[in-house]
Amino acid sequence: MKKFDSLDLKSLKSLAGDLASQMRNREVILLSGDVGAGKTTFVSAFLSSMGYDLSNSPTFAVINEYDVNGTLIDHVDLYRLKDSEDLESTGFWDLFSKREGLILIEWSQRMPGSDWIPNGWTWSEVKLTISKDNLNTRDVSIRRSK
């Protein structure tokens, strides 16, 4: 696990871009953190580094799909979901039937662990917290599957 403490906005965006450059096909990025921790900012910077300008999070749509220079990226926001039935109705599980692409999931803590991720997919877990010593910076930990 890698840890990064007290990242300002510029550093957080740079870290997101670095992670984007390391992504493999069929990878899930699990983003967790409280409201305001920077999940959507991280996703926006991740996509921006790949050449896509994100205008908003799919809080109400739950899933948005982007074609970023030929790479299919699904952006999922689980904030509004109450239970597994809500998730089932979104078409979430169908995302894993694709032969290629990336899936970014905000509020992944609503589906704890990674054992639900199908075989053939790798994952990266990104935890964001507001720094205790400075409300304008973030502490980030990143753990990746093999």
Mean pLDDT of 110-127: 90
The superfamily CATH assigns to domain 2-144 is: P-loop containing nucleotide triphosphate hydrolases (3.40.50.300)
Q: What whole-number distance in Å separates Cα of residue 132 and Cα of residue 37? A: 12
Residue spans per domain, the chain: 2-144
Tens digit of each residue's pLDDT (9 = 90 or more) over 6-15: 999 999 999 9
Q: What are phi and psi of 20, to 5 degrees?
A: -60, -40
Burial of 131 (0-12, 13-18, 19+ CB in 10 A): middle
pLDDT digits (tens, 9 = 90+) for 65-116: 999 999 999 999 999 887 777 888 888 999 999 888 999 999 999 887 788 9
Q: What is the pLDDT of residue 96?
A: 93
